[in-house]
Amino acid sequence: MEEIREALERAKASASPQRQRRATPQSSTQSTFVADGSPQFDAAKEVELGRALLRSKRIVAHDHLEAQSAAFDMLRTQVLQSMDAKEWRFLGITSPTPGCGKTVVAVNLALSVARLTDRTVLLMDLDLRKPQVASDLGLKPQYGAISILESRSTLSDSIIQTRIDDCRMMVLPTESRLSSSSDWMASSAMSGMLQEIKDQCQWRIVIVDLPPLLVSDDVHSVLPQLDCVLLVTAVGTTKIAEITESINHLQSTELVRIVLNKAPPSKSAYYY
């Protein structure tokens, strides 16, 4: 694990100068991300999330009393500070390879953001090869992102309102398209759907669960339409060479954080 930590530090140090050169001055106001009023949730259409299922899927960030949710709250604060500074709204979450837990991180981060009273969030599944967001949340959608791309449904028909306790979150699931995922990710229909979301969701943070970065060219096709990316790596799964390769692929993308997932619990007795 120490080798992975050292690799992460070297990768961040080598990549940061190029990202700094690309940065352009922007307003640091936070009003872009704060809703002018409460989101118009329709209680009659809300889907109540099951607590037992969420726990079985390691989804915990909806409960601030859950000890494990603290890590996602810390990540939330760091990510939102970076996004607010640049007035970004679209965050993609990917990993070098499968098995790193990127979807678990994406769902937990979205729920952590949803707990904030002045933030609203849309969680979007664009892992067309192996979508997991709906399954992890216990949703059985009739439509999804593919339905929109194929003009079989609209954005409003496909987005699902979810709730657990006082935590509300919008979810756009997707159907699986293993054989044609790259074509759909690079299509004009995908660009049009993302633009529609940008136009309609100016007051909302959009978290996009992407496919693994090194498996196909799916992620590369959609990266230019996202504001920033979070890279999820995992102890025992991610190799140092894969981290380095992923950083190289993301040189032209704003990388807000690298998450080291599946790390063993700290043995320290310190607590706050």
Q: Note down pLDDT in tens along the chain; length 272 residues.
A: 565 566 556 655 554 444 443 333 332 222 222 333 334 666 657 899 999 999 999 999 999 888 888 999 999 999 999 999 999 999 999 999 999 999 999 999 999 999 998 899 999 999 999 999 999 999 999 999 999 999 999 999 999 999 998 899 999 999 988 888 989 999 999 999 999 999 887 768 999 999 999 998 999 999 999 999 999 999 999 999 999 999 999 999 999 999 998 887 765 544 43
Residues 59/112, Cβ–Cβ less than 8 Å? no
Strand order across the 255-261 sheet = 47-48, 160-164, 167-172, 121-125, 205-209, 90-94, 228-234, 255-261
User: Could you give the angle at which helices 2-22 and 240-249 cross, rounded to 10 degrees?
Assistant: 10
- Domains located in the chain, CATH noted: 2-17+45-261 (3.40.50.300)
Residue 47: strand, helix, or coil: strand
User: Packing angle between helix 69-86 and helix 102-114, nearest 10 degrees?
Assistant: 80
Q: Which residues pair with 255 in a beta bridge?
A: 229
Measured distance CA(189)–CA(149) in Å, rounded: 5
* Ramachandran sector of residue 253 (left: φ over 0; alpha: ψ -120 to 50; beta: rest): beta
Place of tokens 């859950």: 66
Question: H or E element: which one contains 164?
Answer: strand 160-164
Distance CA 4, CA 167 (A): 35
Dist. CA 40–CA 47, nearest whole Å:
15
Q: Are strands 47-48 and 205-209 parallel, antiparallel or unpaired?
A: unpaired
Distance CA 10, CA 218 (A): 26
pTM: 0.84
Q: What is the length of the chain?
A: 272
Can you tell me the distance from the alpha carbon of 33 to that of 231, in angstroms, rounded to the nearest whole number? 22
pLDDT of residue 10: 62
**At 26, is the secondary structure helix, strand, or coil?**
coil
